[in-house]
Amino acid sequence: MADTQKSIFVTGAGSGIGRATAKLFADRGWFVGLFDVNQQGLDETSAMLPEGQRISMTFDVRDRAGWARAVETFGQATNRRMNVLFNNAGVGRGGPIDEMPGDDIDLVLDVNLKGVINGVNAALPLLRETPGGRIVNTASVAGVFGAPNMAVYCATKFGVRGLTEALDVEFSKYGVRVVSLMPWFVDTAILDGLPAGSSEGGNRRIRDALTENKTAIYPVSMAAERAWDAAHGNEIHYMVGKEAERARFFARFFPGMMRNQIKKQFSSSDS
């Protein structure tokens, strides 16, 4: 890594928003650390980036020791600089909470929330050593309003939003900003892991319902552009898509109206 080059550590880099963001930052001259639990996905992402401008390593964000190894490897490649930690790895599981397998509940909590906390603690020393260090946590519009059949997933994203707001204040003493990326529905595999309703035997995914209702599904490239904004801007939450902005507005100013609309849609999908 060149002495003047900026660096970003990306989890969930093997696909989706992580891959698109890694490619965008590399295209704009950054050194990129690619990290994911999926070796094949990492290899595919690595092939899209110039040699000498990236490193890659597999590890599970649930594993604190794995985080320590990954951050140490990244620090060795960047002369102990980390301009941005992109805490992006996530999974989607859902359904009525009383029907969700315990293993699915644990997986969502451990990856989507605990994994983010693990990353914060592991990367903070490097971020503190880097002037203008920043953490970008991937939350979701699911962290703005609760949706049925997504209770555990929403809980993690509300948690990431709260964690972000708290740490942005807490880490101000270190000169480290903490912000979040809050996408609307983006074209990733998570849409295939969340059910659309409880009446279809678990076979109908949320992607199917969105397509049938002609609801916007944004490309990962849009999320990557907003991740770039999140790495450079002054806001704390960065919404992805007009619908995300609209959801934030209604959740703030007309929460009853939004809740009634969600109930109406949920009742229709289960009938």
List the alpha helices (DSSP H) in the chain: 16-27, 39-48, 64-77, 102-109, 115-129, 151-170, 206-212, 220-232, 242-253, 255-270
Q: Is 153 an annotated catalytic residue?
A: yes
Question: Does residue 178 contact residue 167 with C-beta atoms inside 8 Å?
Answer: yes
Side chain identity at 266, as an amino acid letter? F
Count of Cβ atoms closer than 10 Å to residue 267 Cβ: 10
**Angle at alpha carbon of residue 173, lines to 171 and 176, rounded to 5°:** 45
Side chain identity at 108, as an amino acid letter? V
Phi (first) and psi of residue 135, to 5 degrees: -110, 130
Q: Name the active-site residue from 153, 174, 218, 238.
A: 153
The Cα 243–Cα 78 span in angstroms is: 38
Count of Cβ atoms closer than 10 Å to residue 205 Cβ: 18
- If you write DSSP's letter for every residue of 206-251 in order, what string do you get? HHHHHHHTT---B-HHHHHHHHHHHHH-S-SEEEESHHHHHHHHHH
Phi (first) and psi of residue 35, to 5 degrees: -140, 135
The Cα 262–Cα 146 span in angstroms is: 9
**Catalytic residue positions?**
153
